[in-house]
Amino acid sequence: MADSKRVLLASPRGYCAGVDRAVETVERTLDKHGAPVYVRKEIVHNRHVVETLQERGAIFVDETDQVPEGAIVVFSAHGVSPEVHKTAEERQLRTIDATCPLVTKVHQEAKRFARDDYDIILIGHEGHEEVEGTAGEAPRHIQVVDGPDAVDDVQVRDESRVIWLSQTTLSVDETMETVHRLRERFPLLNDPPSDDICYATQNRQVAVKALAPECDLVIVVGSQNSSNSQRLVEVALQNGAQASYLVDYARDIDLAWLDGVTTVGVTSGASVPEVLVRGVLDLLAEHGYEDVQSVTTAQETLTFALPRELRPARVTR
């Protein structure tokens, strides 16, 4: 029956407060200083966002030594190590730091526990920009553990002075499995002072968990290099969806995926603008999936102030 086709639309989805702030940081910097504005790494892990900002005059570079001396450089939402700040200073770059405040919080925790001479186990994906930035705060104290299977390789000096921290965009369930394995090895393992996995990552995973059991297919809008988007595909499959795919754009959807499918779940990663989700919903509607039902598991109201260089000047009387 064609009229039984439906879409379950996850809410919350899409932009989180940290991404919103980072993208606006680049836009405002372009407005204020004009093009070009250099950005170290992708400001957020989304192809559409990066291409849109490039059209406006943002130039994305891998390292600060690719930025002309004295130019403006924006640091991405994923954060950078002290070493990167140092090289920027040496090249007299004018830096604007768009690091997500929730990532900055993990950096502060890393510094604090390194000062107290703890061994810090950073749960995260080896080579991810956020992990490199955090590990760079205290390289002698931090070991990166990429998932439960890496736990056996961890060596610590004093089992009573070990703490775990995590990348902000991980799967909540897999992280807790890693922690469980760590605690079996190190029963005195300390927890972070507050949760490191960001509220938006958790909320998006909870929403997918709620709709996945009813879905033949879950489409996650997001880029391949987006950790939190990749996790949503995994969460969908682990919680009952028959199939799940990550797409940047509606045009990436293979119509063969829709064969025999009654219920399609749709969500998007935390760095995805809503216009891309609308494109997917329009394409699905063209193929008979016009009934869209929202599955809402949380309301998000958090916002972050822009970096101080971009805030309006205070009027003093």
Q: Are 42 and 124 in contact (CB under 8 A)?
A: no
pTM above 0.75, yes or no: yes
How far is it, in rounded angstroms, from Cα 275 to Cα 113?
42
Instruction: Clarify whether 129 is annotated catalytic.
Output: no
Q: Which of 42, 109, 129, 130 is catalytic?
A: 130
Amino acid found at 135: A
CB atoms within 10 A of CB 20: 21
What's the CA gap between 96 and 13, in Å, rounded?
A: 27
Cβ–Cβ < 8 Å for 11, 299: no
Q: Is 153 helix (H, G, I), strand (E, B) or coil?
A: helix
Q: pLDDT tens digits, the chain, 317 residues: what are they?
A: 445 999 999 999 999 999 999 999 999 999 999 999 999 999 999 999 999 999 999 999 999 999 999 999 999 999 999 999 999 999 999 999 999 999 999 999 999 999 999 999 999 999 999 999 999 999 999 999 999 999 999 999 999 999 999 999 999 999 999 999 999 999 999 999 999 999 999 999 999 999 999 999 999 999 999 999 999 999 999 999 999 999 999 999 999 999 999 999 999 999 999 999 999 999 999 999 999 999 999 999 999 999 999 998 776 66
pLDDT tens-digit profile of 106-142? 999 999 999 999 999 999 999 999 999 999 999 999 9
Cβ neighbours for 90, distance < 8 A, ≥ 6 positions apart: none
Mention every residue, 6+ apart, whose C-beta is less than 8 A from residue 86.
none
**Strands 37-40 and 119-123, sheet pairing:** unpaired
